[in-house]
């Protein structure tokens, strides 16, 4: 695992909202932990000699800066929602896609009626594409996430007016 791979992993974990991640391969063992609002602490224990501790100090400043911005942007969107709407939320961490490929139309658009079980989007997680189905019947009022952007667990994706 290269230093750039480790940096990307730490950045992904910091945006995911997870407090602890452990990854172990035959060559490398990585444990990343985050406590409260402090920057995450990463411990690297390579089983083979490799210059991997260097990215840890670099990762801490870049990780701590985006986290408050993400947290600040989410609450501002929540109060704007009306109380009679139902929110379809992300069941996992991954990348949100509105359609199955760039050439195909979106699964749903604002104003479309959806029924319970209808696919509304896809979330890619670890090279797997997971279809996300509506848990409620109603009309799509608002799409809360831009196409091809990362989403976190339990992040609101759509507002639905139940029927």
3-class SS of residue 120: strand
Q: Judge whether 47 and 29 are in contact, CB under 8 Å.
A: yes
pTM, two decimals, is 0.51
**Mean confidence (pLDDT) of the chain:** 76
Residues 99 and 34 in one domain: no
Mean pLDDT over residues 98-106, rounded? 94
Residue 76 falls inside a structural domain: no
DSSP H helices, the chain, are 3-16, 55-64, 66-77
Residues 15 and 86 in one domain: no
Between 51-55, 96-100, 114-118, 155-159, the lowest mean confidence (pLDDT) is in 51-55
What DSSP line would sit under 31-62, residue for residue? EEE--TTSPPEEEE--SS----STHHHHHHHH
Q: What is the pLDDT of residues 41-59, one digit of tens each?
A: 555 555 544 444 444 444 4
Residues 18 and 52 in one domain: yes
Residues 10 and 66 in one domain: yes
Which of 71, 94, 120 is a domain's end point? 71
Residues 148 and 104 in one domain: yes
Residue 88 falls inside a structural domain: yes
Which residues form the domain of 22?
3-71
Residues 88 and 158 in one domain: yes
Q: Judge whether 29 and 43 are in contact, CB under 8 Å.
A: no
Residues 143 and 88 in one domain: yes
Residues 49 and 95 in one domain: no
pLDDT of residue 5: 73
Residue 92 falls inside a structural domain: yes
Longest dimension (CA), the chain: 61
pLDDT of residue 75: 45
CATH number of the domain bearing residue 136: 2.40.50.100
């Amino acid at each position: 695992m290269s230093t750039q791979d480790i940096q990307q992993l730490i950045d992904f974990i910091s945006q995911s909202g997870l407090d602890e991640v452990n990854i172990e391969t035959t060559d490398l063992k990585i444990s990343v932990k985050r406590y409260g609002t402090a920057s995450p602490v990463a411990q690297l224990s390579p089983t083979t000699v490799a210059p991997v501790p260097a990215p840890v100090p670099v990762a801490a400043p870049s990780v701590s800066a985006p986290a408050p911005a993400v947290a600040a942007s989410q609450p501002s969107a929540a109060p704007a929602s009306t109380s009679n709407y139902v929110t379809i939320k992300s069941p996992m961490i991954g990348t949100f896609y509105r359609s199955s490929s760039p050439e195909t139309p979106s699964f749903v658009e604002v104003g479309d009626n959806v029924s319970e079980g209808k696919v509304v989007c896809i979330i890619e997680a670890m090279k797997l594409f997971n279809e996300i189905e509506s848990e409620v019947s109603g009309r799509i009022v608002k799409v809360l996430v831009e196409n091809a952007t990362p989403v976190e667990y339990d992040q609101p994706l759509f507002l639905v007016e139940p029927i």
